[in-house]
Amino acid sequence: MTSPASALSQLKQFTTVVADTGDFERMREYQPQDATTNPSLILKAAQQANYQALVNQVKSAHPGIKPVDLVDHILVAFGLEILKIVPGRVSTEVDARLSFDTQATIQKAKHLISLYESHGIERKRVLIKLAGTWEGIEAAKALESEGIHCNMTLLFSLVQAAACGAVNAKLISPFVGRITDWHKTKLGSNWSDEQHGGANDPGVTSVKRIFHYYKHFGISTEIMGASFRNTSQILELAGCDLLTISPELLGDLQKSTAVVEKKLNASNAASALASEQIIALKLDESNFRLQLNNDAMATEKLAEGIRNFCIDTEKLEALLSN
């Protein structure tokens, strides 16, 4: 008798599955197409005993360079190992401290790409992660025009997504779990998993809105749901272009035999937007900043995300200084 298909294998029929980790040894068994990293994930991996040899190898190969520059080599070293495992792309993040400096972001992105290319990796296999600030989006516009593809991260709102689509960013990563966290905190004791979970989960509905907006207006930028808190959020977004998932949740999906149905369909886009009275957004700088400012959740989570990535980048520099 044939054993039932895992939820993970069923999900892969509708959505490209991506591993969200710097711990590349753990991703092998789940056979993801792509992988994503960020400063927090690389910091976590770099502190593990099984990666000390890789960290020491990078430090030995670049004696005397500043920690800020050594971080770039560490990010790329982990990326190179990941690319030996996944057939697709790896996402590597630009220093979050550059989130409000377009030119510095462009320079850092080009430097990271040059490091990958020096190891024989084609730029099409690398996505440069940039914060979804106005300055980050402007950097993406310039980089995409030179064939350097961008993964727009720390994305919490439709206006960020629309602006990224307008500059033809390759991919966006809306942060499902962090959106839900904010609403859960806001509602406090009024939060109910039954009422606010599943299809009504605020993080899930945010990604659905972006999906419908992109499909209705013919935006080719890929949508990759990220930052999941549970498998319910993942399965509610079956049919999204891509989903990047932690090894822990990949393991849960692998063990589950729950039936997975396609939940997102481009054919529903027009009616879904009409029901929410959403029209094409004005995306010049002043309108972008105003719309983002008026979204308290997106403003607070974007600021918090940049702060935390800055802190973890500084921790990584300190770790490499020892």
Kindly list the averaged pLDDT for each block of 10 residues, start to end, along the chain of length 322: 86 97 93 95 94 95 94 97 97 98 98 98 98 98 98 98 98 98 97 95 98 98 98 98 97 97 96 96 98 98 98 96 87
Query: Look-up: residue for tokens 């200084």?
Result: 321
Tell me what pLDDT residue 195 has: 95
Provide CB contacts within 8 A for 197, sequence distance 6+: 232
Q: In the prediction, which pLDDT does 3 show?
A: 73
Give me the domains of the chain, ranges plus CATH numbers. 7-321 (3.20.20.70)
pLDDT at 2: 64
Q: Which of 12, 108, 129, 170 is catalytic?
A: 129
Q: Which pLDDT value is given to residue 127?
A: 98
Q: How many residues does the structure list for the chain? A: 322
Whether 129 is a known active-site residue: answer: yes
pLDDT of residue 255: 97
Encoding tokens for residue 97?
A: 């401290």
- For 217-280, where are the alpha helices, taking DSSP H only? 231-235, 247-255, 269-275
